[in-house]
Chain A
């Protein structure tokens, strides 16, 4: 007996030809996330007089398959802020763990301060920009909502490229096309935010969630909605049902609601 693989059962080269070991070594470069797999769709948010309202549905899709129907995509952070996450769900779960560890570190620090929504947004934008610079992105777009250092309403966005921007109303993904124009009717300017009541803002967001459910094929009628105010703190509801849907139009479409030619 010896150490040669041929002696241990490997087909003999002189009988079967040289062993093809090409499958053993793939000389491909190390690969990172090339595309998102399980995904969440739009996140919507609107600033109002003394706070911010944010919403996202509870669906995680696997391509066109509605795979997980009870996924919470609004992630609260220390009672002052909340992050709405769209895009890859595994990267969202990584970010959730990252924020957990950040929260623990901050609570053990002796600064006496706590991170506000603006700080949180800065932190997340640095994480996202670093990851894109490593060509290893976290495939998400996030909205950070809450209160800034002066307890004023804060709303800002960051995406997988590290691009950041802020606006009185924001929407990610499909919502950027469908909901944002509707939300801008409510608040098209920072100066108008002071005139918007909480009720108006919540109503606008709910209406947009409905529009998205009508037209976004990767959306769901169960959603999470949160309101952050100075007085009320963070109020998060994670299992809401879309109300007041109207599918009356279906009656007018042949092959959909209507069965025969009128």
Chain B
């Protein structure tokens, strides 16, 4: 019997008896997973700087689809302070988008800023913290933290500093930035009211000769009112924005937290 097979030409030239040599002409293409690891929890955030202060604000509504999860879920956090009270912090961070990633990101940055202080015996500058946050986000480039972050504080010269991010870590220092669900509603308002875009000085000429209004640093009380107006308007027009407005103001005196109710419908 053995001789029968050993003399078989087919077998000798093509001994396809090993399972690993089996032809795998299976349907190619990956199986689609039923689980999508992201969600959008809605809400909006906004940051504006002045000469000697930075403000970051966010609404406190958390949503999934058309449902309101809760009316109070903060999106703005103190970074590098006491766990319970936030005391000793000098940097603020807002995260909007996928709330679970936002919390994870906040906790990572918080731990890093604290470790920096313990290891170097000095507070991390906002500039350094901003670069570090970009590195954290970019480190998860291929499974990103699905959040838009805004970082704020005072720079080395005591001037208001604000950095805005995309989910994979591109960042930029800016005067003002709106993020989240109602960013497209708030940002044009900010362009006009903070950077005086499309504002011209009357009687300075016709057409291209018209002189643009020069930007000037805005005082704190004016900025605070801009923030409140931005959010009351966004609440009117966006269903994912509302319930409450939480505001953090960084000055050389420290971080002050404010809360204003918004419409809950």
Contacts and interface: CB of A to CB of B under 8 A. Distances in A.
B15 to A, nearest CB: 7
B69 interface: yes
A132 B73 contact: no
Nearest to B99: A163
Given A2-B5, A165-B62, A176-B67, A14 B11 contact: yes
A29 B28 CA distance: 11
A135 B34 CA distance: 10
Interface string A1-32: 11011110010111000111110111111011
Interface residues of B, number: 41
B30 to A, nearest CB: 6
B19 interface: yes
Given A22-B24, A165-B62, A5 B100 contact: no
A7 B33 contact: no
A241 interface: no
B41 interface: yes
Main secondary structure of the interface of B (DSSP, over half): loop
A34 interface: yes
B17 A6 contact: yes
B99 A13 contact: no
A133 B38 CA distance: 10
B22 interface: yes
A4 B1 CA distance: 11
Interface string B18-35: 010011111000110111
B19 A163 contact: no
A221 B195 CA distance: 61
B5 A6 contact: yes
A24 B19 contact: yes
Nearest to A149: B84
A153 interface: no
B71 to A, nearest CB: 7
A146 B5 CA distance: 75
Given A19-B16, A28-B31, A1 B2 contact: yes
A235 interface: no
A216 B72 CA distance: 28
Interface string B217-248: 00000000000000000000000000000000
B210 interface: no
B35 A18 contact: no
A248 to B, nearest CB: 31
A19 B31 contact: no
B131 interface: no
A132 B71 CA distance: 25
A2 B2 contact: yes
B211 interface: no
Interface in A59-89: none
A161 interface: yes
A2 B100 CA distance: 61
A157 interface: yes
Contact of B70 (A12, A135, A167): A167
Most A Cβ at <10 Å: residue of B14, B16, B22, B103? B22
A32 to B, nearest CB: 7
Nearest to B28: A27
A176 B69 CA distance: 8
Contact of B38 (A21, A33, A161, A166): A161
Contacts of B19: 21, 24-25
A21 B23 contact: yes
B25 A19 contact: no
B184 interface: no
A237 to B, nearest CB: 28
A177 B16 contact: no
B8 interface: yes
Contact of B23 (A5, A6, A10, A22): A22
A164 interface: yes
Contact of A34 (B10, B17, B34, B73): B34
Interface string B28-61: 0011011101110100000000000000000000
| A-B complex: 7 closest residue pairs judged by Cβ atoms | A21-B22, A34-B34, A162-B100, A167-B70, A14-B10, A165-B70, A165-B69
Given A1-B2, A2-B2, A10-B17, 15 more contacts: A4-B5, A6-B5, A13-B10, A18-B16, A19-B16, A29-B30, A129-B100, A129-B104, A132-B100, A135-B33, A161-B38, A165-B69, A167-B70, A167-B72, A188-B71
26 contacts: A2-B5, A7-B2, A7-B5, A13-B11, A19-B22, A21-B22, A21-B23, A22-B23, A22-B24, A22-B25, A22-B26, A24-B19, A24-B22, A29-B31, A32-B35, A33-B35, A161-B37, A163-B41, A163-B64, A164-B103, A165-B69, A166-B70, A166-B72, A166-B73, A170-B70, A188-B71
